[in-house]
């Protein structure tokens, strides 16, 4: 499971499932074996928009008195720009 990914309550993850970076995993049934980076949902997954993902990460980090650094943001941007679906 990649950094900054999360699942909803009662999500059933298959053994060996690979969940990418910045995914929001929710929906009925078992997860597929591969969930690409920046995916939103399971059934007909949508793209998790980059700026929305960064905003959500910043909000989460603020609760821990941290910030998303520019080098971290550049790595995430690189992953987003080079995704394979």
Question: pLDDT tens digits for 1-25?
Answer: 999 999 999 899 989 999 999 999 9
CA-wise closest residue to 21 among 9, 10, 37, 36: 37
Mean pLDDT value of segment 64-71: 95
Calpha distance 26→10 (Å, rounded):
9
**Contact predicate 40/48, CB 8 Å:** yes
**Contact predicate 6/24, CB 8 Å:** yes
pLDDT for residue 63 is more than 70: yes
This prediction has a pTM of 0.86
Task: State what percent of residues in the chain have pLDDT above 70.
Answer: 99
Angle 50-62/70-81 helices, nearest 10 degrees? Answer: 150
- The pLDDT score that the predictor gives to residue 37 is 96
């Amino acid at each position: 499971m990649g950094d900054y990914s999360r699942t909803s309550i009662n999500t059933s993850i298959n053994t060996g499932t690979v969940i990418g970076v910045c995914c929001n995993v929710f929906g009925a049934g078992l997860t597929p074996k591969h969930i690409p980076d920046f995916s939103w949902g399971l059934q007909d997954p949508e793209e998790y928009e980059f700026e929305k993902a960064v905003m959500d990460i910043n909000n989460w980090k603020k609760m821990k008195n941290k910030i998303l650094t520019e080098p971290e943001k550049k790595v995430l941007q690189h992953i987003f720009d080079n995704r394979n679906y």
